[in-house]
Structure 1
Amino acid sequence: MRDDGAAAPWRTPEFTERLRAVAEERHHDRHPFNLRMHQGELTGDQLCPWIANRFHHQRHIPVKDALILARFDDPALRRARLRRIQDHDGVRPALDAVAASLTELPASGPVRTRTAAFERPYPWIAADGLAYFRTRIGQGGCDGEEALAPVRAWARTREQQERAVAALAFKCDVLWALLDAVERGGTG
């Protein structure tokens, strides 16, 4: 506790571990729809809505991220985060937006699993259609690690740290809800 009664900030390793735990435990790859997709148990009618959702989700991320980057006053930060324009940052304050992108921390494994799953039981998916996922195998984890540094630097108080963890948890909930919607829509 600090003198003013506020909780003291977590030390960097504890804060980092809390963020990593949320990303791992609540990652949308644990959703039943994704599990069935990875096992090759979906029909084309079930998988196509997910593909359409994912396409539109990814298509609009650069616009959203460009708006977030435009709010950064520091040119060095804009340059460092420019590659993130293809990834998920959210539309909240910079700390919350970048913290939300930490869903990428465990991304390499799930994307590798998803890509392999598409190649086996879904032969009707064109090989060039998997190019995006193949590039994400290495990029996802890198994006997450890049986002971790500014989140740790910006979250100086316990309140800011808790906000960052909450933003990441919220993003996990949103991705889970998107899969709920796709699953319900795709199964009739």
Structure 2
Amino acid sequence: MPTADPPLTGAELVTALRGLSHRYWGTHPFHRRLHAGELSKAELRRWAANRWYYQSILPQKDAAIIANCPLPDIRRQWLPRIAYHDGSANGDGGRERWLRLCEAVGLIRDEVLSERHVLPGVRFAVDAYVTFARTRPWLEAVASSLTEMFAGHLMRQRVADMLANYPWIGQDDLAYFTNRIDAVSGEGRDTIDIVVRHCVTRAQQEAAIAALSFKCDVLWSMLDAIERGASHDPA
């Protein structure tokens, strides 16, 4: 019988995971245009309204991870993510900060909450991500969150580029990103530690890499849909 491949070292696993950075949505043509100041106001509204759908389900994704995880220490470690996005009260949290950005680009809060501008491709991709978290082993769902590793520096650059290129958007309107930079960097470190500690077999490690690849596909598919969705633009 063939011998199974030995497990990767922790450093090798981290290198393999970080090697997917080129698949992250920061390299997507739509994001490059956003950073270059090339999006119209209609395109910004399309982006914000559809990205809202992704932001709105993150607490459900994290709750699914907690529900599937049998380890109390991991559940305790993951729980603050739900509070971060939902906030500790109405008018607080990451969801609320994203709604403020939607208003800054010209959307009405109620129309964003109604999801009437969410494109079919975006809804399909986001729903697939939640289904993944609900149905796959908790460790794979955790690994899929490792796009956090690639996010901090991109958010910092996005703030600078949006302030420079879209003068109707102010610093306060970008509070989602400015508030999230440090948080996402810390979450990324915590998540990579969980994955390295608990992915002890080669099969688990390969599943973690595949999970992160899947998440990159989800995000890329969202931007593909947004880029092509002009016929559905908010009025």
Superposed pair shares fold, TM > 0.5: yes
* CA distance in 2 between partners of 1:128 and 1:186 (Å): 28
- Equivalent residue for 1:45? 42
Secondary structure of 1:105 counterpart: helix
Shift of 1:126: 4.7
- Equivalent residue for 1:132? 176
Aligned mate of 1:81, from 65, 78, 83: 78
* CA distance in 2 between partners of 1:74 and 1:163 (Å): 19
- Equivalent residue for 1:170? 214
Unaligned runs of 5+ residues in structure 1 are: none
Query: Would you say the 8 A contact 2:62–2:78 is kept in 1?
Result: no
Query: Would you say the 8 A contact 1:96–1:163 is kept in 2?
Result: yes
TM-score, normalised relative to structure 2: 0.73
Q: What's the Cα RMSD here?
A: 2.1
Shift of 1:74: 2.2
| 1:102 pairs with 2:146 | yes
In the TM superposition, what are the counterparts of 1:150-165 in structure 2 within 5 Å? 150-165=194-209
Query: Would you say the 8 A contact 2:68–2:137 is kept in 1?
Result: no
Shift of 1:100: 0.7
Query: Would you say the 8 A contact 2:25–2:216 is kept in 1?
Result: yes
Cα 1:34–1:187 change in 2 (3 A) is farther
Aligned residues between the structures: 185
Query: Would you say the 8 A contact 1:103–1:168 is kept in 2?
Result: yes
- Equivalent residue for 1:17? 15
- Equivalent residue for 1:61? 58
Shift of 1:124: 2.2
Identity of aligned residues (%): 44
Shift of 1:5: 1.6
Shift of 1:29: 0.3
